[in-house]
């Protein structure tokens, strides 16, 4: 574990976010200059309401809140366990997000909760919980600012709009109308500090000391001075009590770990388990996600189609919300090849890639060779996914669509930033050498709807072609 920040290209390579389905320079630019520039509205049905229901249903709008942290805060405000709040997805932090929550607490108590930058609209009561990915999708409205050419010169609105439409057409020609490669986005790994899969690897290897060490101490790009100093102190001293004296307030999970270590500095397992269950699980999922991204990248570089199956591929039926029915996956063989190709072209079936686990689920033939090489690239070919000391983190593995649709797409020039508006520190500081944005460049507002579990930043990456830390 080092203290040096990684280069963008190194991070992209390590996360498998390499390659394109079409060649283009894109519009460049920077996301999340303002919190309001990134809006997400969950597309979901409200659970069936019943005045006698056990649970409270609420529509929650968050301004610059990471979902897990908000749920912890809400649980504390309602005097309940975090496990008694149910959500169908985790949303972006630096954004305005709206989603449905089901809360196992009296309606009156929820209505009395007051949390800064959080609006809670009580919808009623229900007997129904919601689970991960129960929603139908997410509606995004995203503003990219500072569009520019690869040489850093500003790009005007007309040129930027033309490039977005050109890329959209290119994706359509190569993959089908309004379809794009289903990479797993940088947020899954930790955008500016891709520590999550490294922690996950330590967990499946039963090395909780290394897992905690990485989580506390790994340096990140664009960390604030206080955060960088805290992580440096941990790397140099590994003294939980001294680190607690300087830890920034916003690092709540790290604080919980340090408090546990202050009680027993050898209880690394207990320290890791002080993280919320959803975050513990995310470390495993992010490790699996590495394999998927590398398989998708290798498939592109090998010249294999992302939409037309070949013998050995594994296909799955597509549901109306763009997700796949993993219970009905099937291998493509000589006998069903034509039928699979036809159903893929009609949007009924999707090619899939691996999220590895203990149950063998790799393709065969040439696609299988690509997937096995991805496991070798990520050093996951011999991984035991049984997490012996935390069995609930064990995984049998599954598959994920290689491509997904986007819908209700629109793009227009966006208004300039008002002089009094609060902007990111990065925008205030102006671009550094090698960055792909220019404050004099155009701003575009893109709107689209994506299936659950799909990353808007990945679609924006197709249009922007900016370095990874611009998202």
Instruction: Judge contact between 37 and 80, C-beta under 8 A.
Output: no
364-369 long-range Cβ contacts below 8 angstroms, 24+ apart: 364/311, 364/312, 364/331, 365/310, 365/311, 365/312, 365/313, 366/302, 366/304, 366/310, 366/312, 367/299, 367/304, 367/310, 367/312, 367/313, 367/314, 368/312
Helical residues (DSSP H) of 264-396, grouped into ranges = 268-273, 277-301, 337-345, 365-377
pLDDT of 6 reads: 63
Please tell me which residue, 80 or 7, carries the higher pLDDT value: 80
User: Quick check: 2 pLDDT over 70?
Assistant: no
DSSP state string for 301-315: HTT--SSS--TT-EE
Q: How far apart, in whole angstroms, are the C-alpha atoms of residue 319 and residue 329? A: 13
Residue 188 φ then ψ, to 5°: -60, -30
Instruction: Judge contact between 457 and 138, C-beta under 8 A.
Output: no
| pTM for the predicted model, two decimal places | 0.91
Q: Which helix (H) or strand (E) holds 102?
A: strand 96-103
pLDDT of 66 reads: 86
User: Quick check: 259 pLDDT over 50?
Assistant: yes
CATH of 49-126, one of 3.30.70.3160, 1.10.760.10, 3.30.565.10, 3.40.50.1860: 3.30.70.3160
User: Quick check: 54 pLDDT over 90?
Assistant: yes
For tokens 């995004």, name the residue: 140
DSSP letter (8 states) at residue 33: S
Q: Say which range, 73-77, 229-233, 467-471, has the weakest mean pLDDT.
A: 467-471
Nearest CA among 242, 205, 143 for reference residue 441: 143
pLDDT of 1 reads: 46
Query: 383-411 burial string, b = 16+ CB within 10 Å, else e?
Result: bebebeebeebebebbbbbbbbbbeeeeb
Query: Percent of the chain at pLDDT above 90?
Result: 84
Residues in the chain: 471
- Give the pLDDT confidence of 156-184 residue by residue, as tens digits: 999 999 999 999 999 999 998 999 999 99
Backbone CA torsion sign across 264, 268, 274, 275: positive
Q: Which helix (H) or strand (E) holds 140?
A: strand 137-145
Question: Could you check whether 49-126 and 286-401 share the same CATH topology?
Answer: no
Per-residue pLDDT, averaged over 301-322, amounts to 93
Backbone CA torsion sign across 42, 357, 461, 167: negative
The alpha carbon torsion through 213, 215, 219, 220 (nearest 10 deg) reads 170
- Token readout for 400 is 């994920």
User: Quick check: 67 pLDDT over 50?
Assistant: yes
- Give the pLDDT confidence of 215-236 residue by residue, as tens digits: 999 998 878 899 999 999 999 9
DSSP letter (8 states) at residue 189: T
Helical residues (DSSP H) of 55-195, grouped into ranges = 67-78, 107-111, 157-175
CATH of 286-401, one of 3.30.2350.20, 3.40.30.10, 3.90.550.10, 3.90.580.10: 3.30.2350.20
Q: How far apart, in whole angstroms, are the C-alpha atoms of residue 375 and residue 298? A: 11
Please tell me which residue, 223 or 54, carries the higher pLDDT value: 54
What's the topology of domain 193-275? Hypothetical Protein Yqey; Chain: A; domain1 (1.10.1510)
Residue 338 φ then ψ, to 5°: -60, -40
Q: How far apart, in whole angstroms, are the C-alpha atoms of residue 308 and residue 299? A: 12
Per-residue pLDDT, averaged over 235-245, amounts to 96
User: Quick check: 91 pLDDT over 90?
Assistant: no
Is 469 annotated as catalytic?
no
The mean predicted confidence, pLDDT, of the chain is 94
Per-residue pLDDT, averaged over 319-337, amounts to 92
- Give the pLDDT confidence of 200-209 residue by residue, as tens digits: 999 999 999 9
Angle (CA) 355-356-360 rounded to 5° is 125
User: Quick check: 321 pLDDT over 80?
Assistant: no
Domain boundaries, the chain: 23-37+137-182+411-470, 49-126, 193-275, 286-401
User: Quick check: 8 pLDDT over 90?
Assistant: no
Catalytic residue among 37, 92, 213, 469: 92
User: Quick check: 364 pLDDT over 70?
Assistant: yes
pLDDT of 5 reads: 54
pLDDT of 65 reads: 92
Q: How far apart, in whole angstroms, are the C-alpha atoms of residue 284 and residue 336? A: 34
């Amino acid at each position: 574990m080092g203290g040096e920040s990684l280069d963008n290209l190194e991070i992209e390579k390590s996360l498998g976010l390499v390659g394109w389905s079409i060649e283009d320079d894109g519009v460049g630019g920077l996301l999340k200059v303002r919190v309001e520039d990134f809006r997400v509205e969950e597309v979901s049905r409200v659970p069936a309401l019943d005045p006698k229901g056990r649970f409270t249903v609420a529509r929650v709008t968050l301004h610059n809140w990471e979902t897990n942290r908000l749920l912890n805060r809400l649980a504390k405000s309602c005097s309940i366990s975090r496990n008694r709040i149910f959500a169908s997805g985790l949303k972006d932090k630096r954004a305005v997000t709206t989603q449905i929550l089901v809360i196992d607490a009296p309606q009156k108590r929820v209505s009395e909760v007051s949390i800064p930058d959080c609006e809670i609209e009580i919808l009623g009561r229900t007997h129904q919980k919601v689970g991960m990915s129960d929603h139908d999708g997410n509606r995004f409205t995203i503003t990219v600012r500072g569009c520019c050419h690869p040489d850093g010169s500003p790009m005007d609105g007309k040129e930027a709009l033309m490039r977005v439409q050109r890329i959209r057409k290119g994706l359509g020609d190569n993959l089908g109308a309004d379809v794009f490669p289903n990479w797993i986005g940088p947020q899954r790994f930790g955008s500016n500090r891709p520590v999550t899969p490294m922690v996950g690897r330590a967990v499946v290897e039963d090395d909780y000391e290394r897992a905690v060490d990485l989580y506390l101490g790994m340096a990140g790009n664009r960390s604030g001075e206080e955060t960088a100093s805290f992580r440096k102190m941990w790397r140099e001293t590994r003294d939980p009590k001294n680190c607690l004296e300087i830890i920034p307030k916003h690092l709540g999970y790290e604080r919980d770990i340090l408090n546990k270590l202050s009680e027993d500095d050898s209880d690394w397992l207990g320290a890791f388990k002080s993280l919320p269950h959803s975050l513990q699980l995310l470390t495993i999922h992010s490790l699996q996600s590495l394999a998927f991204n590398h398989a998708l990248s290798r498939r592109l570089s090998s010249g294999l189609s992302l939409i037309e199956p070949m013998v050995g591929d594994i296909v799955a039926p597509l549901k109306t919300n763009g997700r796949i029915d993993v219970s009905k996956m099937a291998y493509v063989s000589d006998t069903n090849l034509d039928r699979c190709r036809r159903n893929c072209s009609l949007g009924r079936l999707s090619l899939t890639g691996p999220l590895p686990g203990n149950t063998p689920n790799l393709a065969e033939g040439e696609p299988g060779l690509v997937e096995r090489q991805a496991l070798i690239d990520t050093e996951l070919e011999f991984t035991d996914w049984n997490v012996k000391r935390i069995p609930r983190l064990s995984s049998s593995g599954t598959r994920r669509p290689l491509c997904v649709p986007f819908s209700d797409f629109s793009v227009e020039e966006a208004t300039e930033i008002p002089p009094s508006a609060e902007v990111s520190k990065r925008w205030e500081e102006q671009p550094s050498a090698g960055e792909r944005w220019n404050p004099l460049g155009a701003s575009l507002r893109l709107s689209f709807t994506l299936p659950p579990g799909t990353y808007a930043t990945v679609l924006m990456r197709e249009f922007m072609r900016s370095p990874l830390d611009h998202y």
